[in-house]
Amino acid sequence: MTIAELKKLLKAGEWNDIEFKEARMDVPKSAFETVSAFANTHGGRLVFGVAQRGESYEITGVEKPEKVQNDFLSVLHADAKINHDVLVTEQKLPIDGKMVLVFQIAENGRTRKPVYLDGDIRRTFLRKGGGDYKAQMQDIERMLRDSAVDRWDGQLFDRVAFKQAFDVSTLGWYRNRFHQVNTGFDARQSDRDFLYHWGFLIKQGKRFLPTRAAIMLFGSSLAVHQLIPRPTLDVQFLGYSTGDALPETRWIDRIVCEDNIIQAWEQLVTKYRFFMPKPFRDIDPVTLGRRDDPPGFRVFREAAVNLLIHQDYGDHSRKGVIKFFRDGIQFWNPGDVFGEDLRLWEPGEKEVRNPSIAMALRRIAMCEQAGTGLRMMREAWRKLGHPAPHYKNDRAGKAFEFFIPELDKEVDMASDLVKAMFGKSLPVRPSTQSPTQSATQSTDPLERLLAALLAGEMSAGKLREILSIKHRPTFRANYLHPAIQAGLIERTLPDKPNSRLQKYRLTAAGRQTLSARRGSMQ
């Protein structure tokens, strides 16, 4: 970290990857909670020698840097303090005659989580926004599931007798497609021999037991319900956009899939085909897609299959959800993606939560090859002239959200559903809202801020009130500072940034940006 970087961070305030501690003479106990939180989420920097003064941060320096640094590192590496080793890189940063200590805390890998303190797993912490929060037991259980060497989908299932465990039609569907894609294998094998050959059955003595992957892929309704007491997939068709106020009717059609993965996929594609503006004329029997492989459907298919592959099926309190908004499709998955966030777009093999399920669907070409899916979706969607899809990999919440913006006609099922039910599309009307209403209903942080300032100059407190944001660091990091740096808003007292009389107002660039954004939505 450079001095310039530190000063920039001081202006932005604490957030999910930066924490300041005064630590003038001693190491504060809360510093170790931050270590646990960073190691369990995305990593971050812990800075000693900075004190909070109201809404701002001030460099106060560490008076005994050698002692404080040694105390911190020696306690951190003591066996009794923390259950897993954490990679820490230390740095001394002299600023204006004062010494600041910077500790880069790395995220631990999945097999070395949860990271907790004092031998008590209940003292597991997570980083959310600008604070450290004690993890709930369900959070800890999710980390423990992901930390296991034996993956969830490879474990054995023995709650239902073998003859009742499988759905014959689903297994036949899969085998038919398997032999079309993979020539040279004996199609005359019995179902048991086929499942055993590909690792879906494990022999124990004289018995053959299915894996959880086998049940999730080919299981009977009885077996699936014995394995997971919640739906496999929840698909909702919504007649409004992500930035609209929530209407009284939450959804206009819905599919709740409670059977195996392949049956859930078939239900989803059936609904898709029904509402396609251009009917499927030539069906690929392997992928259930059109042979001319329209790019829009290819992107949708990859995102939907990824959701079915990578769910944390051991999480019985949450389910995978697909929401069709008028301005895009949201895919929400219980379970975060393993690996570094910045490398998710890069090609190459990546560790997955359910490797047996993933390989089974790749063998029949239902999804892209390992490590190429996200990249393909981004590039294909851009080529159609749309903004790139984006994702949020939530380590603290153990969830993954993928959003495909600006629907292509081929995937605008929500719009076609509205037409089918009401005889016409829902109209898009010019906004007649007040700035306050517009600010509270948009989902884009910058747009909400700019819309609020249409009413005139406002203090930070007033803006937070209008935007319903109680957490000051969140407001500064996501709203205020990005808008100032982009030249969209300006301070009324630029020479006194911390003045209690400080207010903010739109610049000409801010007004033009807001007008352009609103114009593109109409």
CA distance 123 to 352: 28
- The C-alpha atoms of residue 329 and residue 411 are separated, in whole angstroms, by 9
Unique residue bearing structure tokens 């003859």: 163
Please tell me the distance from the alpha carbon of residue 411 to that of residue 296, in angstroms, as a whole number.
Answer: 6
Q: 281 Cβ partners below 8 Å, 6+ apart?
A: 290
Look at residues 98, 54, 3 and name the one whose alpha carbon lies nearest to residue 500: 54
Cα separation, 305 vs 308, in Å, equals 5
Output the six-digit token pair for 318.
């949450």
Class of domain 3-147: alpha beta
| Domain 435-521: CATH architecture, name and number where available | Orthogonal Bundle (1.10)
Q: Which residues contact 520 (CB under 8 A, 6 or more apart)?
A: none
Q: What is the mean pLDDT of each run of 10 residues along the chain (522 residues)?
A: 90 90 95 97 96 92 95 88 94 94 96 96 94 95 94 95 94 94 91 96 94 98 96 91 79 90 91 58 48 69 93 96 90 91 75 94 83 81 87 94 74 50 43 53 71 89 85 78 85 86 89 68 42
Start-end of H helices in 235-340: 261-274, 295-310
| DSSP of 30-86 | HHHHHHHHHHHTT-EEEEESEEEETTEEEE---SSHHHHHHHHHHHHTSTTTBSS--
- Whether the CA torsion 243, 247, 253, 254 is positive or negative: it is positive
Other Cβ atoms closer than 10 A to 69: 20
What are the backbone dihedrals phi and psi of residue 444, each rounded to the nearest 5 degrees, phi first? -85, 125
Sign of CA pseudo-dihedral 379, 385, 389, 390: positive
Unique residue bearing structure tokens 């609020």: 452
Cα gap 165→215, rounded to integer Å: 7
Q: Which helix (H) or strand (E) holds 217?
A: helix 212-218
CA distance 369 to 350: 11
According to the 3-state scheme, what is the secondary structure of 160-202? CCHHHHECHHHHHHHHHHHHHHCCCCCCCCCHHHHHHHCCCEE
Among 306, 221, 254, 268, CA closest to 411: 268
- The residue ranges of DSSP E strands in 73-171, in sequence order, are 88-95, 98-105, 116-117, 120-128, 131-134
- Judge whether 257 and 236 are in contact, CB under 8 Å: no
**Domain chopping of the chain, boundaries:** 3-147, 152-227, 233-422, 435-521
Distances (CA, A) of 151 to 154, 213, 256, 268, 295: 5, 10, 26, 27, 33
> Shortest CA distance to 360 belongs to which of 240, 217, 247, 255?
217
CA distances from 144 to 19, 150, 319 (A): 26, 12, 19
Residue 240, classed as helix, strand or coil, is: coil
Lookup result for tokens 């699936």: 224
H/E run at residue 113: none
- Residues 448, 449, 452, 457, Cα dihedral to 10°: -170
Query: Which pLDDT score is estimated for 481?
Result: 83
Residues in Cβ contact with 92 at an 8 Å cutoff, skipping those fewer than 6 apart: 65, 69, 99, 100, 101, 102
Are domains 3-147 and 233-422 of this chain identical in fold?
no
Cβ count within 10 A of residue 108: 22
Q: Tell me the CATH class for 233-422.
A: alpha beta
Both tokens of 354, joined, read 């359910």
Q: Kindly report the pTM of this predicted structure.
A: 0.74
Alpha helix stretches (DSSP H) within 342-434: 355-362, 373-383, 413-422
